[in-house]
Structures are given as structure tokens and as C-alpha cells.
């Protein structure tokens, strides 16, 4: 499938969770972890279990060096500067930090915040709530019949902020974020990109390198849970007012005031030290695979999956028709012999009984999923996915459909 490129079976062998039976096609929710990540977690707790930045003893120095080294590693992966990386507890916290700390102090009644109809709740609900509090308006860019974002010639009058996912977690639709960046620049407004579903799938583009803010989670890129990244231009990060307060984040404190400076000024309390340290080997793995080779590997699997689903009676696949316009995830409805939609939760359970793990439901994107006709089954691939995984799903699905019909 991938010619003389990376050793995909060798990569797969590095993931202990895949050694047993079963097919893992719920990777958009979270990815499995390579042995190197598990080793790094254990090594940190065994050899450098201390808090960072304050103490002077050996373990504290080791912890601080490793934690700040991880910040630098993330910056290199993104093509940004070390001071432009803030560690959070996930994509959702990163988005909320920008919503509450950056935009809320600036947002006025009647202002417009622009997002898209593809958004995950994590990049929709924070802006909904913010607009409701401030009397502003949330404008969602519409989709065409293949769930591609329809970009306007110019942003709506009154737009003060733009945000978008780079890839839909439901349909895998890839957003033209470079065009969106151009629209934001033309309007002179900031742009935040949600990279949760693209960071481990697509090569970086100009928008991911140049957007005012980007956010993603480590656990969707083979790293630990509980770690997210907010990266942004240094001047933009400097304009975020902290929304959580505590130790470690301060430059100085008096009885009545405190001063802060990013990135530490946006990291209140004990940070996710072990998770940050253990994320480094996950990034090393992604770089070893290579973004272009990984994209080619993924495209072959997406083409196989789309063709196979398209050949099954009763299966309906919303989203782009061509794999080249997708990344990661493919969701679908199944109709029974009488034309009614079969319950995706029942189908997912029946598939699980055959050893195939997929996801069912609204996928934390309820407005989009309702627009597409209701709860869906979703199969999503990862670096370690291969043709046998897709074949297993396509073989098991007709049996599940027959049992559910």
C-alpha cells in the first residue's frame, strides 16, 4: 500500500494495546499509545517525580528540564517558538482560555463571532455561551451538500473573531483553513484553529503555522490524556488575561496584586508534567513516519473504506465523495430493508461482539449530526490502521445489519 515508505506494520507493533484481538476504528475519540509513551510516563514518575520551576533539588531540576524540553519539542513540531506554546488540560480548555481570557474582555453587544457548521461542541459551546453573555452574535458558515464549508467573499459585517476546526470529527471534511486565514487577515480579526482532528493526520499548512491561535489535544496524537496545547503568536498570547489563578504562574505577588507573563502566566497550578514529558515520543513517532507519507497511507485506507461502504446496500455516507477531501473519520447511516434508519448504538454493539470497535451517536457535534439526519456510526483510522482493519469492518457490518434489521 505504501511502497518503499515507512514500515507501517513495524509502527503498529509498537502499540501494546493492538497486540490482542480486535479491530480499533474509534481513533477520532482517542488514539492508543506506543510503548515509548508508556515508558516515558513510568520513567518520569520513577526518576523525576517532582514539581517544576521552584525547587532546586535534583528531581525537581530533572522534571523542569523535561517539562520545558517538551514545550520546546511541541514548538518545533508546530514550527513556532517555545514561548508561543501553552500547556492546557485539552483542546477544550485551550479554546475556553481564548474565549474567556482574550475575546470576552473585548466583545461588545452586536459583535459577530464566526465559526462553521462543522464544529465539535468543544469549539462551539464556548462561543455560544460567550456570545449569549455579551449580547454578541454567533454566525456559522454554512455547508454544501458534501459538508464542505462555503466560504464567503468577505466575513459578515461586525466580525471580531473567527474560529474553525481544520477537520470535522464527524465526516472528516477538511476545511480550507488557508482561505479562512486570508479572510480573517483581510478583515483584520484574529483566527483560532481547532487542530484536534488534524494534528496527527495532515501536514501543517500556512494557516496552522500563522493563525493567531491553534489548539489540540495530545491524546488524539498518540500522547497521554489530560494534556492539551494552546499555541499562538507571542503578542496574541500576551493579550490573554488569565482565567485561573494560583501557584507557579506568577512573576511576582504582593498582598493585593500579582503579575503574569505567558506562557507560564497561563498555566495555573501544577501543570500536567508527566503527560507533557510523555508526549515527546509521540511527536517523535509522527516525525519518524513523516506527514506526507502518513497522509498517503491514510488516503489509501479512506479510499478502501469509502468504496467498501458504498458497495453495501442501505449504507449512506454523508460528507465529501472523494477521499482527498477527507481526513481520519467516515460516518454513516444504515437503513434496514423497510427503509428505516437502524439504531447506530445497536449496530455498534453488534460490531463490538464481532471484535470491531467503532463509535455511535452524536459525536459531540449534535447540530451537525442532526443536520445530517441523526445519530451516525463512525469509523476512524490512525497511523497504525491497515487494510485488514477496514476489511474486518466491511465483513462484520452486513452481519450486524442483518441482526439489527
> Which residues have a catalytic role annotated?
364
Measured in whole angstroms, how far is the alpha carbon of residue 212 from the centre of its chain? 17
- Where are any strands of DSSP class E within 274-347? 315-316, 329-334
Which residue reads 497486540 in cell numbers? Answer: 19
The answer to whether the beta carbons of residues 358 and 350 sit under 8 Å apart is: no
- For residues 265 and 242, the answer to whether their CB atoms sit within 8 Å is yes
Buried-exposed string 191-224: b where 16+ CB fall within 10 A, e elsewhere: bbbbbbbbbbbbebbebbebbbbbbbbbbbbbbb
C-beta atoms surrounding 227 within 10 Å:
26
Q: Is 187 in a helix, a strand, or coil? A: helix
Q: Which sign does the torsion angle of CA 88, 94, 98, 104 carry?
A: negative
Nearest to 251 by CA among 242, 75, 359, 71: 242
d(CA 402, CA 395): 12
The Cα–Cα gap between 70 and 74 comes to: 6
How far apart (Å, rounded) are the C-alpha atoms in residues 276 and 285?
Answer: 15
Amino acid at each position: 500500500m505504501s511502497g518503499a515508505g515507512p514500515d507501517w506494520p513495524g509502527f503498529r507493533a509498537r502499540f501494546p494495546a493492538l497486540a490482542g484481538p480486535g479491530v480499533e476504528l474509534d481513533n477520532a475519540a482517542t488514539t492508543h499509545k506506543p510503548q515509548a509513551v508508556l515508558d516515558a510516563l513510568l520513567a518520569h514518575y520513577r526518576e523525576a517525580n517532582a514539581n517544576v520551576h521552584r525547587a532546586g533539588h535534583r528531581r525537581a531540576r530533572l522534571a523542569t528540564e523535561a517539562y520545558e524540553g517538551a514545550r520546546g519539542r511541541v514548538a518545533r513540531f508546530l514550527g513556532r517558538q517555545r514561548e508561543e506554546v501553552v500547556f492546557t488540560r485539552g483542546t477544550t480548555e485551550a479554546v475556553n482560555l481564548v474565549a474567556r481570557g482574550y475575546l470576552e474582555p473585548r466583545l461588545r453587544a452586536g459583535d459577530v463571532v464566526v465559526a462553521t457548521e462543522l464544529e465539535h461542541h468543544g469549539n462551539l459551546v464556548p462561543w455560544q455561551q460567550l456570545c449569549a453573555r455579551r449580547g454578541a452574535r454567533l454566525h456559522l458558515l454554512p455547508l454544501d451538500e458534501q459538508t464542505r464549508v462555503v466560504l464567503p467573499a468577505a466575513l459578515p459585517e461586525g466580525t471580531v473573531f473567527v474560529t474553525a476546526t481544520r477537520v470535522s470529527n464527524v465526516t472528516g471534511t477538511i476545511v480550507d483553513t488557508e482561505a479562512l486565514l486570508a479572510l480573517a487577515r483581510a478583515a483584520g480579526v484574529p483566527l483560532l484553529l481547532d487542530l484536534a482532528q488534524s494534528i496527527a493526520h495532515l501536514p501543517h499548512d500556512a494557516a496552522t503555522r500563522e493563525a493567531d491561535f491553534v489548539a489540540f489535544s495530545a491524546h488524539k496524537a498518540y500522547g497521554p490524556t489530560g494534556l492539551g496545547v494552546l499555541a499562538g503568536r507571542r503578542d496574541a498570547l500576551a493579550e490573554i488575561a488569565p482565567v485561573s489563578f494560583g501557584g507557579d504562574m506568577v512573576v511576582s505577588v504582593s498582598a493585593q496584586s500579582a503579575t503574569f507573563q505567558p506562557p507560564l502566566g497561563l498555566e495555573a497550578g501544577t501543570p500536567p508534567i508527566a503527560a507533557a514529558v510523555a508526549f515527546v515520543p509521540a511527536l517523535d513517532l509522527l516525525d519518524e513516519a513523516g506527514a506526507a507519507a502518513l497522509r498517503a497511507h491514510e488516503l489509501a485506507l479512506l479510499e478502501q473504506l469509502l468504496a467498501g461502504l458504498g458497495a453495501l446496500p442501505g449504507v449512506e455516507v454523508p460528507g465529501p465523495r472523494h477521499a482527498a477531501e477527507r481526513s481520519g473519520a467516515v460516518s454513516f447511516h444504515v437503513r434496514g430493508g423497510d427503509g428505516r434508519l437502524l439504531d447506530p448504538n445497536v449496530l455498534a454493539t453488534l460490531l463490538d461482539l464481532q471484535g470491531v470497535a467503532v463509535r455511535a451517536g452524536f459525536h459531540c457535534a449534535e447540530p451537525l449530526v442532526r443536520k445530517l439526519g441523526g445519530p451516525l456510526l463512525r469509523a476512524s483510522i490512525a497511523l497504525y490502521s491497515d487494510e485488514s482493519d477496514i476489511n474486518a469492518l466491511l465483513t462484520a457490518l452486513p452481519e450486524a445489519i442483518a441482526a439489527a434489521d
